[in-house]
Structure 1
Amino acid sequence: MCEEIKIYVADLAAYNNGKLYGVWINACLDLDEIQEQINIMLSNSPEDCAEEYAIHDYEGFNGYELSEYTGIKTAHEIACFIAEYPDLAGALLCHFGGSIEEARQAIEDNYVGCYKSLADYAEELTDSIDQIPDNIAYYIDYERMGRDMELSGDIYTIATAYDEIHIFWSH
């Protein structure tokens, strides 16, 4: 997965002179390796005195959009987080406005699981707390229970696909 998380680092001297010159780099590499590839790219620049660079494109960030002002270190940290949690990290980062710390805390401390719906989670939670007699179970509105949990602020959800809702405790 990590090989698919890449950044395109462009030589700004070449770019400012109308030339597209840069290199795709695996964003999960060690920071020193990333910087070494950037330095090699700059030293082979078609422009004299190439010193500045910027991330002009990226792939594999799972819905999270890097800003043109994102630094190499931040891009690397985000890429490593996405590689660690490929199914959810991009959506979590979007939810938390790019805060890796908040996204990491959510997934490590508050993650409940992935469900088809809030109703499925409410039913599982209810069944784990108490055994509901069959003659009463038909009267329980699990859809409303799940919606009420979310509206009350006890939980929040992140949908990543059809019938795929990730549920987190809000505390």
Structure 2
Amino acid sequence: MSDLPRIYAASLADYNCGHLHGVWIDIDETTDVDEVREKISAMLGDSLAVIYREAEVAEEYAIHDFDNFQGFEVHEFESLDRVVTLARLIAEHGKAFAVFAENLTSGEDIDDIESAFTDQFVGEMSLEDYAYDYVDECLDLPEIARSYFDYEKFARDLELSGDMIEIEGFVFHCR
């Protein structure tokens, strides 16, 4: 089984006729919504309910299951655009994106969340590790001063000032 986000799209005509007919669709960082729609259309085209003449046509579907969405709920009739964008971002950025979206956003559009994530994500590390990197790259301290510098307190100051935050091992700028 893949670790990619995936959905199970099921034919409603088949479901109403007592058949379990659907398709699992993996969504990676390159998947677009048209690819998902094509897979759903192909699944509907192979409808058992239509083959057995229990239904004239199978044209409606619902998302009956999902995996690997890092805590996000995918609802039965969720917009495919939103589902694919969310899955693509989780496939590309993993748990870091899910942690960001869950903790540092509040109902924004998925495109706005993606933009904010890109701007604010620093990396998978502790805030203290970030403090070490910051001092090393940005401050021109002599070697003797570095040995006395309190990185733990500096990391705490970054968090208390509201400039940075660490959540579940991921560091973000607070903007």
Report if TM-score (shorter chain) is over 0.5.
yes
Q: What is the Cα-based RMSD across aligned positions, in Å?
A: 3.0
Q: 163, 168, 171: which is aligned to 2:172?
A: 168
**Which ranges of structure 2 fall in alignment gaps of 5 or more residues?**
50-54
C-alpha spacing 1:167/1:136, structure 2 compared with 1 (3 Å): closer
Please show how residues 106-121 of structure 1 align to structure 2 within 5 Å: 106-115=116-125, 117-121=126-130
Q: CA deviation at 1:18?
A: 4.2
The answer to whether structure 1 residue 8 and structure 2 residue 8 are counterparts is yes
TM-score, structure 1 as length reference = 0.73
Matches within 5 A, 1:46-61: 46-47=48-49, 48=55, 49-61=57-69
Q: Counterpart in 1 of 2:101?
A: 93
Q: Residues 36 and 111 (structure 1 numbering): CA distance in 2 closer, same or farther, change over 3 Å?
A: closer
Q: Percent identity?
A: 39
8 Å CA contact 2:14–2:48 kept in 1: the answer is yes
Report the CA distance shift for 1:46/1:57 in structure 2 as closer, same or farther (over 3 A).
same
Pick which of 2-11 and 149-158 moved more.
2-11
Once the two structures are superposed, residues 5-24 of structure 1 have per-residue CA deviations (whole angstroms, 9 ceiling, x without a partner) of 32110122333444322111
- For residues 27 and 146 of structure 2, the distance between their equivalents in structure 1, rounded to whole angstroms, comes to 54
**1:82 alignment partner in structure 2:** 90
Counterpart of 2:91 in 1: which secondary structure? helix
CA distance, structure 2, for counterparts of residue 136 and residue 36 of structure 1: 58
- 1:16-69, Cα deviation, whole Å (9 max, x unpaired): 444322111233444333222212222332331333211111233344332334
**Equivalent of 2:115 in 87, 91, 105:** 105
> TM-score, normalised to structure 2's length?
0.72
Q: Report if aligned partners of 1:9, 1:24 keep a CA contact under 8 Å in 2.
A: yes
Question: Does the 8 Å CA contact 1:8/1:56 hold for their aligned counterparts?
Answer: yes
Alignment partner of 1:144 out of 149, 153, 162: 153
For the residue of structure 2 that corresponds to 1:4, the secondary structure is coil
- Conserved? CA contact 1:122–1:146, under 8 Å: yes
Q: How many residues align?
A: 163
Using the alignment, how far apart are the partners of 1:90 and 1:170 within structure 2? Answer: 16
**Inter-partner Cα distance in structure 2 for 1:102 and 1:168:** 16
Of 139, 142, 154 in structure 2, the residue corresponding to residue 129 of structure 1 is 139
